[in-house]
Amino acid sequence: MMKNVTGQRLNIWSTIPDSRSHALTSTLARMSGSQSCEVIRVVDSYLIDAKLSKNEWGIVRALFSHPLVHANVLGGSPAPEHFLYAIEIGFLPGVTDNLASTVVETIEDSLGRSLKKGEAVYTAKIVYLDGELDRELVSQFAYELHNPLIERAAILSQREYTTQGGFLLRPPRVTLAEETAVKDVSLWCSDDELTLIGKLGILNEDGTRRGPLALSLEALKTIRTHFHALGRLPTDIELESLAQTWSEHCKHSIFADPIDEITEGIYKRYIKGATRDVRAKKGRADFCVSVFTDNAGAIAYDDEYLVTHKVETHNSPSALDPFGGAITGIVGVNRDALGFGLGAKPIANTYGFCVGDPDDTRPLYRDQACTNPLLPPARILDGVVRGVGSGGNESGIPTALGMLCVDDRFRGKPLVFAGTVGLLPRKKGKRALHQKQARAGDYIVVVGGRVGLDGIHGATFSSEALDSGSPATAVQIGDPITQKKMSDAIVKEARDMELYTSITDNGAGGISCSVAEMARECGGCRVELEKVPLKYSGLAPWQIWISESQERMTLAVPPKKWDKLRELLAKRGVEATRIGEFTDSGNCVVAHEGNTIMDLELSFLHDGRPIVFQQTKAPHIETAPAPKTRAGTIDALVLKLLARPSIASTAFIATQYDHEVQGSSVTKSLQGRGQVCTESAVLRPLLDRESGIVLSHGYAPWLSELDAYAMAASAIDNAVAAAVASGADPEQLALLDNFCWCSSHDPERLYQLKEAARACYDVAVAYGTPFISGKDSMFNDFKGFDAQGTPCMISIPPTLLISAIGVIDSVHRAITTDLKQADDCIYLLGDTLDECAGSEYLALVTGKSHVLHEGAQVPRVDVQKNSAVYRAYAQAVGKGYIASGMRVGRGGLAIALAKASIAGMLGMDITLPATTLSSDTYLFSESQGRLLVSVDPKHKTAFEKVCSKVSCTELGTVSEMPRMHITDRRGAEVCVLSLERARRAYRATFKNC
Amino acid sequence: MKKSTPKALILSGYGLNCEEETAFAFEYAGVHADIVHLKDLIDTPKRLSRYQILAIPGGFSFGDHTGSGRAFANKLTNHLSEELAAFVARDTLTIGICNGFQILTECGLLPGALTYNAQPRYLTRWLDVAVRAETCPWLSGIERLALPIAHGEGRYYLDESGRAELSRTNALGLQYVAGAMCEHFDLPHNPNGSLDDIAGVTAQSGRVFGLMPHPERALLFTQLPHYTYERDRLRRGGQPLPERGPGYAIFANARRYYA
C-alpha cells in the first residue's frame, strides 16, 4: 500500500497538559475499573496525500500548530518515548471528513495553488496508552472510540509499532468498481421476484442487489403496466426515481391514503382539516401565511417579517451513526428554513431525543451470529447530543429548546427530532418573499456540496424497519461550515439581489426529489446528469440522481442572472453548477452524456402511485394489577421521580448548546438559580424591537398503548400549556406535528394512528391552534437478535411530538419557572383528577410502564376547561401578576412543586386542599391542563379575580426555609424535603455525562 | 450620522457567525458598523484604512477544525498581514471576541494561546470578569462585568514569564472572578481552566483587545440569564426596568474613544 502514497503524515500534539487525554483517561478508567492505565498522548494526524516541493512541505508543516502549545513532526513518529499500545482511528473510504476539508483549504490558501486532481488529505487520531493494559481492554477501548460503520481502528503494541515503523499510510481513497452503465429493468417476472426487487433492490450482474426500493408489489405492477403502455421497459434510474418519489418518506402515503371510512385519508381530514377550520374561524385574525405547501410552515411575525418553523426526524441514520445522523438531521432541517419561500434565515434550532435507558447495557445484534451489534443507548445519547450541538454551534444558530425522553422501547431505534425556526422579510421591493415560481427556461442550478455515495436509499431506507440489511451508505455526516458559507451567500446576499426565482432543499431523494418537485412549478425539466459535480468518480447515473449528499440546495436561475450568481458564489467559496433547465414539456427528462436515460411524465411521477386501502383494528390493551401499597415515603418518591431519566436535569445537554448566539435568547434553557430544564423558550429575534417568539413542545408516548387519542390530545395540550405558561398568547399559537410510528402496516398500529389524528383535529380546533407543518416517520421498528441469537423485535411506542410557536408583542411577557420571593402565594390552576394511568409514579412504584394498571384512569384533555385556564393565566401575565409559572407535567404536582423550588432555590409551605383524592393521587396524578403559579401577595386579590371563573386553588406560600414542606388539611405532615437533597437528586442522573 | 461618528469594520465569512449582533452592538452605542466578508477585504485591502475600529466577532470559523481560529488566522496572515500591521500601528481600536480572540492570538496580534477547556467540551454559561488593564480604552471606567461565554477552546495558556510580562506591561485585560453572577447561579468562577483565570488580554497599550466572553450578547437587559428575576425585583421595588445590559459599556467605550 505504501507504494501508492505520494504524501506524508503531519502529526501534531499538545506539549502542555492536554485535557482531551485526561477525558479519555477517565473513560478508560471507567471501563477497566482501575486508575493504573492512562491515555498519555492524543495526536492529530493529517495524511497529506499530495506531491509537494521541499519548500512547500516546510510551509505546510508550520500551518497547523501554535509554537506555544504544540509539537509537530512531518513523516516521523509522534509517539512518546514509552507507551504500551497505540490506537489509530480514521475514516472509512468515502465518509465525509470535514477536518480534512479545512486542512486542504488552508494548504491551498497558503501555497497559493490548488492540490492536483486525485490529491487529498485524510485525517486520523492516534491515541497512545500506558499502564496496566492488555489487548482485550485496548480493543474494547478502541471500540468505544470509533463507530465501525464509518471509521476504522488499528491497534499496535509498542513492539509492533516499532517493528513496522508506526501506523501504515493507508489513504482511505474511494475506489469504485461498480456497474455504471444504465440498464433497462424487466418487471415481467414472478410476484416473488418483484417483491425481492421492491424489498432488496434491482439485481446487479454479480448477483448482489442495489438496496431497498421500498416499492410494494402493487406499486411495481403499476409501474410495469405504465411502461407496457409506453412500449418499453423502465430504466434503472427511472425505477429508482419512482421509488424515491413514491416513498413513504416523501409521499406520506399512510397519511394520504384511505383508511377505513375516511376516504380522503387522515391527513386531509384531521390535520389539514383542523387548519382549514381554525383559519376560517379566526377570519381576519388568521395569522397563517404558508401552511403545508413549502419546506416549512410560516406565520406572521409583524408587518415586516414572517417566522417559519419546521421539525424533522432523522431516526434511522442516527441509529447507525448517532453523531453523523444527528448533525445531518439538524443541518438538514436548517435547509428547510433556507428553502422556505426565497430563503429564510435560521434563527433557532430545537431538538428532541428519545432513547433507551443509558444504563441499559443489554446487547442487541443485527445478525443472528451476533457479530453486528447495535450501539448501546449511552453511546446513542452521547452521539446525538454532540451531533445536534455541533450542527447548531458551528452554524451560529441558537439551540433554544429541546427534550429527552427515555423509554426501554427506544433502545432498538432512537428518535431524533430536529427543528429550525426561520425569519424572513415579507417583501423585497414588490416581491413577496414567501412565494416562489420556477419558470420554463430558468437554469437548474445546484449549489453547495458535491455528490458521493452518501445517503443512497436514505428515503427508501427510512420507509423500512431497521435490520441487518440497513446500508451503511445511508449514513451521511453533515458539514456545517460548507452549509454556513452557502447559507450566508443565499439569505444574506443572493436572495436580496433577486438572483433566483425558486429554491428548495436537497433532502431525502437528493436532486431526484428536489428537481422533480420544482419542475411542478413550471411543468417540466431537463437535466444533464454528467454536469453534477462529484466527490469521486465511478458513480452510476442512478446513484448521482438519488444521492443524499448533504449541504446542497437547488435553485431556479433566470439565464440573465446566472453569471452574477456564479460570480457571487465563487467569491464566497460556494460551488454552483448549472445542471439543466426547467421546461414546460410536462416531463421530467434526464440525460447522461447525450443519451436520454429517463423520461417520465410529471403526472405519473407525482401522482401515479397506487392507492392503498388501509384498515384498522382496535388493539388489545395490556393490563397489570393495581399497586397494593406504596413503598416508601412521599419524600423518597419525590427524590426517586426527580432522578428518573425523563424528568432529571439534562443540563449537560443545555450547557453544550449555544443558545445565546444571535443575542436573541430571553428565557434560557436552564432557568432560575437552581438551573431547571424547561419546555419552552422566549426569543427576541430582532434586537431593535420588543416583540418576540415563544417556542414549546409536548409529547406523551407513555400513553400510546393505553389510549392513542389521549396521547395525542395530551401532546397538544402539553405544548399549548407550556407555551402559555412562559407568556405566549393562547390566541396566537401555531402547531407542528411529528408522528413517529411503528409497524405501520399493522391494523392495530393504524388504529392508534387514526385515533391520534382524530385527537389532533379535535384539540387543535378547540384551542384555535392551526397546524402549519408536519412530518412523519412510520417504521420505527428494530428486527434483530438478542445476546443469545434469539430473534427479537422492538418497536418504539407511537410518539407524537407537537411543537408550538407563537408571537408575542413584548418579551416582557416572558415568565420563568423559578419562584421569586419568600411569602409569594402559590396557586394551582386547573383540576387534579384521579388520572394516574401511564404516570411516571405508577411506572416507578410498579416497575411497569406502557400497561394499563387496573383501576387507573387515563388523563383526559377537557378542552373547554383548559382553554379557560390558559386565557385567564394569559390575562394575569398581561397585567404583571405572575411571578413564576409552569405547566404541571411528568411526575405530577409534586414534581412541578419541586422544580419550581429548585429553580428559585426557595422553599415552600403547602397545604393540600380538601379533596376526595389520596395525597399520592393529588401529588402524582398527571391530569392535563394545570399550571403552577406564584404571585406577589400584593397582587393576590387582583389575581384571584382574574381567575375567578376557572379552577384556582391556593396551595401555600414561598418560604425562605430551604425545604419543601407539605401538610394535609388537618395539618399532618405529608412531605418534608430539603431543597439541597432535591436539587442533588434532580442533577445526579446525568452528572457524569 | 454625525461627522465625528467612528466607523467599525466587522469581519464575516468562513463560519464566523456573530457579525450581525456585534454590528448591532456598535450601532446601538453610536458607532457606524459595516459587515465585510473577509474575501471582499482580501480583494480590496485598502478599505481597512477607512476605518477606526476593527472587530473580529465570534463564531466557528472553519468549524474550529485544525484548532479554533487557526485556519482563519492563516488566511488573514497570508493575505492581509501588512494591512493589519498598518491598521494597529495607527490610533485604531481592534477587538476580537471569542473566536475573534482565538484568531488574534493565532495571528500573533495578541500574546498567548487558547486551547481545549479543562473539561474538553463546549460550554455555554454566564460568569463574572474583573478588569485588570488600567489603560485599555475598551475597558475604561469598568470594574466588573457579567457576561456569557460559549466556547470549547477557551483555556488561556501562556508560560509563566509571559504571564508576568502581561501583568507588568498592563496587558492583562480581564480575569474570571467569583462575582455576583457566579454567586447567583452557584457556579465556579473559572469556566475553562484558564491559567491565572485569564479571560482577556490586550496589546498596543490596550488598543488591541481580545476576550472569550461575548459582550454583544449582554447588550440588553432582556438578555440577562436572570432577567425575569431582576425584572420582578425591580418592579416590586417600584423601579423602572433598564434597557441596557452590562456588555454595552465596552461598545460605548469605543464610541467615547473617538468623541
A330 neighbors A418 (Cβ within 8 angstroms): yes
AA letter at A46: Y
Tell which residue, A92, A149, A281, A67, has the closest CA to residue A765: A281
Instruction: Give A361's Cβ-side CA count (13 Å radius).
Output: 2
A960 neighbors A876 (Cβ within 8 angstroms): no
Q: Cα(A425)–Cα(A345) distance, rounded to whole angstroms?
A: 10
Tell which residue, A559, A554, A290, A562, has the closest CA to residue A432: A290
* Residue B1 located in a structural domain: no
Band of residue A691 on the pLDDT scale cut at 50, 70, 90: very high
- What pLDDT shows up at residue A470? 47
The C-alpha of A779 sits at a distance from chain B's nearest C-alpha, in angstroms, of 34
Chain A from 10 to 39: CB within 8 A of any B CB: 14, 16, 18-20, 22-23
* Tens-place pLDDT, residues A240-288: 999 988 887 777 889 999 999 999 999 999 999 999 999 999 999 999 9
Q: How far is CA B30 from CA A83, A166, B19, B91, B223, in A?
A: 59, 59, 17, 19, 20
H or E element that contains A331: helix A322-338
Check CB contact under 8 Å for A395 and B225. Answer: no
Instruction: Using DSSP, state whether A736 is helix, strand or coil.
Output: strand
> B42 CB near a chain A CB, below 8 Å?
no
A187 neighbors A224 (Cβ within 8 angstroms): yes
Check CB contact under 8 Å for A68 and B112. Answer: yes
Query: Which grid cell is A19?
Result: 485535557
* Tens-place pLDDT, residues A426-438: 999 889 999 999 9
The C-alpha of B103 sits at a distance from chain A's nearest C-alpha, in angstroms, of 12
- How far is residue A819 CA from its own chain's centroid? 32
Q: Cα(A845)–Cα(A640) distance, rounded to whole angstroms?
A: 10
Check CB contact under 8 Å for A68 and B157. Answer: yes
Chain A from 798 to 817: CB within 8 A of any B CB: 811-812, 814-816
Helices (H) and strands (E) in chain B, counts: 8, 11
AA letter at B188: P
> B242 CB near a chain A CB, below 8 Å?
no
- What pLDDT shows up at residue B2? 47
Q: Which of A122, A484, A659, A938 to mutate to test the interface with B (most CBs of B within 10 A)?
A: A484
Band of residue A2 on the pLDDT scale cut at 50, 70, 90: very low
Which DSSP state fits A408? G
Q: Residue A392: how many CB atoms within 10 A of its CB?
A: 31
Catalytic machinery residues of B: 98, 214, 216
* Tens-place pLDDT, residues B81-140: 999 999 999 999 999 999 999 999 999 999 999 999 999 899 999 999 999 998 899 999
* Minimal-distance CA residue of chain A relative to B187: A673
H or E element that contains A739: strand A733-740
- Residue B214's domain spans which residues? 7-257
**Mean pLDDT on A775-798:** 94
Residues in chain B closer than 8 A to A573 (CB atoms): 14, 39
- How far is residue A13 CA from its own chain's centroid? 34
The C-alpha of B19 sits at a distance from chain A's nearest C-alpha, in angstroms, of 9
Q: Cα(A224)–Cα(A245) distance, rounded to whole angstroms?
A: 16
> B190 CB near a chain A CB, below 8 Å?
no
The C-alpha of A85 sits at a distance from chain B's nearest C-alpha, in angstroms, of 23
Band of residue A620 on the pLDDT scale cut at 50, 70, 90: very high
* Tens-place pLDDT, residues B12-31: 999 999 999 999 999 999 99
* Minimal-distance CA residue of chain A relative to B184: A673
User: CB pairs below 8 Å between A and B: how many?
Assistant: 191
Query: Which grid cell is A317?
Result: 441514520
Q: Cα(A220)–Cα(A211) distance, rounded to whole angstroms?
A: 15
Strand A907-911 versus strand A963-967 pairing type? parallel
Check CB contact under 8 Å for B74 and A660. Answer: no
The angle subtended at Cα B249 by Cα B22 and Cα B108, nearest 5°, is 60
Query: Which grid cell is B148?
Result: 456569557
Check CB contact under 8 Å for A663 and B220. Answer: yes
> A987 CB near a chain B CB, below 8 Å?
no
Q: Cell match 408516548: residue?
A: A701
Check CB contact under 8 Å for A663 and B78. Answer: no
> B214 CB near a chain A CB, below 8 Å?
yes
Instruction: Report CA torsion sign: A128, A134, A139, A145.
Output: negative
> Torsion over CA of B63, B66, B70 and B75, rounded to 10 degrees?
-80
- What pLDDT shows up at residue A634? 93
* A46 compared with A462, residue with greater pLDDT: A46
Residues in chain A closer than 8 A to B192 (CB atoms): none
- Interhelix angle for A863-878 vs A708-725, to 10°? 10
Look up the pTM and report it.
0.94
A695 neighbors A420 (Cβ within 8 angstroms): no
Go through the domains of chain A in sequence order and give each one's CATH number: 2-164 (3.30.1280.10), 193-250 (no CATH), 623-693+710-726+806-988 (3.90.650.10)
* Residue B102 located in a structural domain: yes
Q: Residue A403: how many CB atoms within 10 A of its CB?
A: 20
H or E element that contains A874: helix A863-878
Tell which residue, A409, A348, A405, has the closest CA to residue A381: A405
* Tens-place pLDDT, residues A371-409: 888 999 999 999 999 999 999 999 999 999 999 999 999
* Minimal-distance CA residue of chain B relative to A98: B65
AA letter at A863: V
Tell which residue, B58, B71, B54, has the closest CA to residue B17: B58
* Residue B222 located in a structural domain: yes
Q: Cα(B155)–Cα(A763) distance, rounded to whole angstroms?
A: 51
Residues in chain A closer than 8 A to B236 (CB atoms): 821, 936
The C-alpha of A939 sits at a distance from chain B's nearest C-alpha, in angstroms, of 11
Q: Cell match 492529530: residue?
A: A44
Band of residue A616 on the pLDDT scale cut at 50, 70, 90: very high
Tell which residue, B151, B152, B192, B153, has the closest CA to residue B175: B192
Q: Residue A563: how many CB atoms within 10 A of its CB?
A: 11
Tell which residue, A433, A395, A417, A436, has the closest CA to residue A551: A395
> B129 - beta bridge partners?
B145, B176
Chain B from 133 to 162: CB within 8 A of any A CB: 148, 150, 155, 157-159
Q: Cα(A391)–Cα(A399) distance, rounded to whole angstroms?
A: 9
- What pLDDT shows up at residue A463? 54
A778 neighbors A462 (Cβ within 8 angstroms): no
Which DSSP state fits A769? -
pLDDT surpasses 70 at A473: no
> B221 CB near a chain A CB, below 8 Å?
no
Q: What is the 3-state secondary structure (H, E, C) of A560-594?
A: HHHHHHHHHHHHCCCCEEEEEEECCCCEEEEEECC
Count of domains forming chain B: 1
> B113 CB near a chain A CB, below 8 Å?
yes
The C-alpha of B138 sits at a distance from chain A's nearest C-alpha, in angstroms, of 20
> A504 - beta bridge partners?
A554
Residues in chain B closer than 8 A to A484 (CB atoms): 15, 17, 60
**Mean pLDDT on B205-228:** 98
* Residue B238 located in a structural domain: yes
Q: Residue A53: how many CB atoms within 10 A of its CB?
A: 9
**Mean pLDDT on A186-202:** 90
Q: Residue A132: how many CB atoms within 10 A of its CB?
A: 12
Environment class of A536 (CB within 10 Å of its CB; exposed 0-12, middle 13-18, buried 19+): middle
Residues in chain A closer than 8 A to B20 (CB atoms): 662
Report ipTM (2 d.p.): 0.96
Tell which residue, B114, B39, B106, has the closest CA to residue A64: B106
Helices within A634-790 (DSSP H only)? 634-643, 651-654, 708-725, 747-767
Check CB contact under 8 Å for B125 and A659. Answer: no
Tell which residue, A14, A3, A172, A2, has the closest CA to residue A78: A14
Residues in chain B closer than 8 A to A662 (CB atoms): 18, 20-21
> B201 CB near a chain A CB, below 8 Å?
no
DSSP letter for each residue of B140-184: TT--EEEEEEEESS-EEE--HHHHHHHHHTT-EEEEEE--HHHHH
The residues, ordered by sequence, that sit 6+ positions from B167 with a Cβ below 8 Å of its Cβ are: B132
N-term to C-term CA, chain B: 14
Query: Which grid cell is A289?
Result: 401565511
> B120 CB near a chain A CB, below 8 Å?
yes
Tell which residue, A281, A143, A241, A209, has the closest CA to residue A469: A209
Q: Cα(A606)–Cα(A228) distance, rounded to whole angstroms?
A: 19
- What pLDDT shows up at residue A850? 87
Rg (C-alpha) for chain A, rounded Å, is 29
> A737 CB near a chain B CB, below 8 Å?
no
**Mean pLDDT on B236-256:** 97
Q: Cell match 450620522: residue?
A: B1
Instruction: Give A353's Cβ-side CA count (13 Å radius).
Output: 35
Query: Which grid cell is A389?
Result: 450541538
* Residue B38 located in a structural domain: yes
The percent of residues in chain A predicted with pLDDT above 90, rounded, is 77
- How far is residue A739 CA from its own chain's centroid? 13
Instruction: Using DSSP, state whether A624 is helix, strand or coil.
Output: strand
Tell which residue, A407, A338, A448, has the closest CA to residue A843: A407
Q: Cα(A38)–Cα(A80) distance, rounded to whole angstroms?
A: 13
Instruction: Using DSSP, state whether A280 is helix, strand or coil.
Output: helix
* Residue B87 located in a structural domain: yes
Instruction: Using DSSP, state whether B62 is helix, strand or coil.
Output: helix
The residues, ordered by sequence, that sit 6+ positions from B136 with a Cβ below 8 Å of its Cβ are: B170, B173, B202, B205, B206, B207, B209
* Tens-place pLDDT, residues A966-979: 999 889 999 999 99
- What pLDDT shows up at residue A947? 97
* Tens-place pLDDT, residues A494-551: 999 999 999 998 878 888 888 988 999 899 999 999 999 988 888 889 889 988 888 8
> B67 CB near a chain A CB, below 8 Å?
yes
Chain A from 442 to 481: CB within 8 A of any B CB: 479-481
> Torsion over CA of B53, B58, B61 and B65, rounded to 10 degrees?
130
pLDDT surpasses 50 at A471: no
List the single residue in A658, A663, A667 with the smallest CB-CB distance to B219: A663
CATH code (residue B85) = 3.40.50.880
> B94 - beta bridge partners?
B54, B208
Q: What is the mean pLDDT of chain B?
A: 96
> A568 CB near a chain B CB, below 8 Å?
no
Assign residue A900 a region (left: φ > 0; alpha: ψ between -120 and 50; beta: otherwise): alpha
* Minimal-distance CA residue of chain B relative to A111: B78
